[in-house]
A and B are shown apart, each in its own frame.
Chain A
Amino acid sequence: MASSTRSEAQHRSDAQNHSAGLSSPAQLDSAAIDALTAGEPAWLRDIRHGAFGRFEAIGQPTDRTEGWRRLELAHANVTPVLPEPSQFEVSVSNADRKKGVVAMPIADALASHEPLVREALLHARSGRTVGKYSALAEAVWQHGAFIHVPEGVELSEPIFATVRAGTYPRFIAVIGKNARAAIAESHHESGRFVSGLSDIIVGENAHLTYAHIQQCGPQTVVFSHQHARIAGGAKLVTLNFGAGASLAKSDVEVELLGRGAESDMLGLVFARGGQQFDYHTLQGHRATDTRSDLLFKSALDGHAHSVYTGVIVIEKGAQRSDAYQANRNLLLAEGARADTEPKLEIEADDVRCTHGATVGPIDADQLFYLASRGMDREIASRLIVEGFFQDVLDKVGDERLTRPLQKTFAPHLEQES
């Protein structure tokens, strides 16, 4: 594994570029995993083999498979590929490193902080839903970031994990009790196939803002599984930003495990051409007095298609849970389409649970109002789309993570077809 260090900016260090040169096995099987993971600790290889078994046990999805029916698989090759060389970097400020923050490639963390990594990987799995591609990612990951923010530490700068190439990215963030952090995981891969797995563990009374940013290449099929475990009194704010890929299918699971745990779950999708986005979210209320607030918005141009399925689970003991879920879709072209479906599984009786979904074109009066001020259709719709997304970005509440995103969706608008 080659490694190079370069400094991104003066206040940054530990910006590492990793590329893994693999001796490629011929096909994805148990022997391939042995070959890929030679030299890793036994506990990790056990996890990988277990996951690979789950991957093999689940059949290849077709457009008749539950959870896949609304997608057009004819336009996307979802057959997994062998791991390809990766390129990624993790950056953390010197000041934060001095406070004991660990933010580095997992491979490095395995060498220097094995007990921490082991605990995180074992702990992260419980409660996580099994999916074919996330199981595969868990089995064969070759690169990714490990982040550990110790108890009570407040990050002064966000941590950025940026992936530019590779097939099975892995991401693990552990936020200690009473710690405060902001982390962005961004993806810019452009190969044919990517399946990533992200685990997030937020300790008691901690606060984490986490952005998962997907700006992969236009030909790339991207799977992402994110699973977060939130302890009592802690708060997680997540943003899923989706703009790239030909087909992107994401599972975003948040489990509120301790009393008073909270999560704001935000999503922002800008799709055009023939892009397909599928988001499945879980708001898992597993303790009393927990609160979740979800807002997923997509703007769809061309003949893009978005599918949203949002599950709210409130367990029997999770009294006084408060769950909110909203999915809003703005159709910018006649050919664009959005499917949205809430699912509620509520076993407690003293709860508040609200959900709502909308699908519709830009409001004609709104468009006319902007036109009456001299703006042409392109400028007017761009402004309306920016405005449509603004409340999502506002709710993230951390401009350091969202400012770079604002520019990325603005110039993409297509002419009305």
Chain B
Amino acid sequence: MADTILEIKDLHVKIGDNEIIRGIDLSIERGTVHALMGPNGSGKSTLSLVLMGHPKYAVTHGDIIYQGRSILEMPPNERSLAGIFLAFQYPSAVPGVSVGNFMRNTLMARHKGDAPLTPAKFKSLLDNAAAKLHIDPKVLGRYVNDGFSGGEKKRLEMLQMLVLQPTLAVLDETDSGLDIDALRIIAQGIEAQRSPEHAILLITHYQRILNYVKPDKVHVLVKGRIVKEGGPELAHELERTGYDPIIKELATV
């Protein structure tokens, strides 16, 4: 029996007067990896930010059910504590706050009342994740995303995912702008996160990453709607043909 972690039902989202998500249905089961693809501006990042609860976007219709309950009213920090994680396409810099300090605070937020995380345990947790991603330990002393290169930012998002072990990880173009080696390392990170307990929604433009991280399902988002779904072979097809045939097909309907 599929254990559904996330169920998006006829979701409509507006920013200002602009409807960007125009009726999305999507179910993600525990233990699966879903890939979400689609042209620039189709609404992929919007969907990911809405899942995380960004206040800028208004859900005008539909629902998001996470582990059996609607999370529309849940503030972003509680969504995080409930196990949702977003690797941002464009993560913010937090000048003056070191990666270590930042991570300590994220962990403290979820261990309120528990036995305190010892400095030694914290350090090994962080060092292990950093090692998996080939992150220089020196980076942990730098300020969060402040002056980071594109690739460094993506790695830091992955580091956070590996430390937090979220139930549902939404990775928004974490594979973009990476060199070949970095891509492989990031892919290994995603594979490390993959487990029967976890679900992953992988937003990507490239079939490349899917060679390393084989998705269970591929969804294609065009203009705020999922217009096509299939298995991993769909990504290959898109790589060959681009989105034009799908868009044309839509136009003729």
Binding site for B on A (CB under 8 A): 363-366, 368-377, 379-380, 383-384, 386-391
Query: B56 to A364, Cβ gap below 8 A?
Result: yes
Chain A residues closer than 8 Å to B106, beta-carbon distance? 373-375
Query: B76 to A372, Cβ gap below 8 A?
Result: yes
Query: A390 to B95, Cβ gap below 8 A?
Result: yes
Chain A residues closer than 8 Å to B109, beta-carbon distance? 373-376, 379
Query: B96 to A375, Cβ gap below 8 A?
Result: no
Q: How many angstroms from the CA of A371 to the CA of B52 in the assembled complex?
A: 9
B5 to chain A, nearest CB (A): 18
Q: What 5 new A-B contacts, CB under 8 Å, besides A370-B102, A371-B77, A372-B77?
A: A368-B54, A369-B91, A373-B109, A375-B77, A375-B105
Chain A residues closer than 8 Å to B94, beta-carbon distance? 366, 369-370, 383-384, 387
> Which of A370, A374, A376, A390 is close to B96, meaning CB atoms less than 8 Å apart?
A390
Q: How many angstroms from the CA of A346 to the CA of B108 in the assembled complex?
A: 51
Query: A383 to B105, Cβ gap below 8 A?
Result: yes
| 9 A–B contacts, CB within 8 A, in A order | A364-B56, A366-B92, A368-B52, A372-B76, A373-B102, A373-B160, A374-B109, A379-B105, A383-B105
Query: B92 to A365, Cβ gap below 8 A?
Result: yes
Which of A373, A377, A384, A388 has the most B CB atoms < 10 Å from its CB?
A: A373
Query: A372 to B102, Cβ gap below 8 A?
Result: no
Interface string of B203-229 (1 = CB under 8 A from A): 000000000000000000000000000
Query: A372 to B105, Cβ gap below 8 A?
Result: no
B112 to chain A, nearest CB (A): 10
Query: A371 to B75, Cβ gap below 8 A?
Result: yes
- With an 8 A cutoff between CB atoms, is B176 at the interface? no
Given A374-B80, A375-B105, also A369-B110 (CB < 8 A): no
B214 to chain A, nearest CB (A): 27
Chain B residues closer than 8 Å to A365, beta-carbon distance? 92
Which of A366, A370, A374, A384 has the most B CB atoms < 10 Å from its CB?
A: A374
Binding site for A on B (CB under 8 A): 52-56, 75-77, 79-81, 85-86, 88, 91-97, 101-102, 105-106, 108-110, 143, 160, 164
Chain B residue at minimum C-beta to C-beta distance from A387:
B96
Across the A-B interface, the 4 shortest Cβ-Cβ residue pairs? A387-B96, A390-B96, A374-B80, A387-B97
Majority secondary structure of chain A interface residues (helix, strand, loop or mixed): helix
Query: B101 to A368, Cβ gap below 8 A?
Result: no
B183 to chain A, nearest CB (A): 24
Q: Number of residue pairs across A and B with beta carbons under 8 Å?
A: 82
Chain A residues closer than 8 Å to B97, beta-carbon distance? 383-384, 386-387, 390
> Which of B85, B93, B95, B164 is close to A391, meaning CB atoms less than 8 Å apart?
B95
Chain A residue at minimum C-beta to C-beta distance from B109:
A374
Given A387-B96, A387-B97, also A371-B143 (CB < 8 A): no
Chain B residues closer than 8 Å to A387, beta-carbon distance? 94-97, 143
Query: A368 to B55, Cβ gap below 8 A?
Result: yes
Q: How many angstroms from the CA of A367 to the CA of B97 in the assembled complex?
A: 13
B221 to chain A, nearest CB (A): 21
Chain A residues closer than 8 Å to B77, beta-carbon distance? 371-377, 380
> Which of A377, A383, A389 is close to B102, meaning CB atoms less than 8 Å apart?
A383
Query: B81 to A388, Cβ gap below 8 A?
Result: no
Q: How many angstroms from the CA of A407 to the CA of B183 in the assembled complex?
A: 41
Chain B residue at minimum C-beta to C-beta distance from A363:
B92
Query: B81 to A374, Cβ gap below 8 A?
Result: yes
Query: A372 to B95, Cβ gap below 8 A?
Result: no
Chain B residue at minimum C-beta to C-beta distance from A375:
B109
Given A365-B92, A369-B91, A390-B95, also A383-B81 (CB < 8 A): no
Which of A369, A372, A386 has the most B CB atoms < 10 Å from its CB?
A: A372
Q: How many angstroms from the CA of A368 to the CA of B53 in the assembled complex?
A: 9
Chain A residue at minimum C-beta to C-beta distance from B52:
A372
Query: A388 to B95, Cβ gap below 8 A?
Result: yes
A409 to chain B, nearest CB (A): 13
Query: A369 to B92, Cβ gap below 8 A?
Result: yes
Q: How many angstroms from the CA of A288 to the CA of B65 in the assembled complex?
A: 68
Chain B residues closer than 8 Å to A375, beta-carbon distance? 77, 105-106, 109
Q: How many angstroms from the CA of A373 to the CA of B160 in the assembled complex?
A: 9
Chain A residues closer than 8 Å to B86, beta-carbon distance? 372
Q: How many angstroms from the CA of A135 to the CA of B166 in the assembled complex?
A: 63
Chain A residue at minimum C-beta to C-beta distance from B103:
A373
B81 to chain A, nearest CB (A): 5
Chain A residue at minimum C-beta to C-beta distance from B91:
A369
Chain A residue at minimum C-beta to C-beta distance from B160:
A373
A288 to chain B, nearest CB (A): 34
Q: How many angstroms from the CA of A363 to the CA of B80 in the assembled complex?
A: 20
Chain A residue at minimum C-beta to C-beta distance from B111:
A374
B156 to chain A, nearest CB (A): 11
Chain B residues closer than 8 Å to A369, beta-carbon distance? 88, 91-92, 94
Query: A364 to B55, Cβ gap below 8 A?
Result: yes
Chain B residues closer than 8 Å to A371, beta-carbon distance? 53, 75-77, 80
A381 to chain B, nearest CB (A): 12
Given A374-B110, A375-B105, A375-B109, also A368-B95 (CB < 8 A): no
A378 to chain B, nearest CB (A): 10
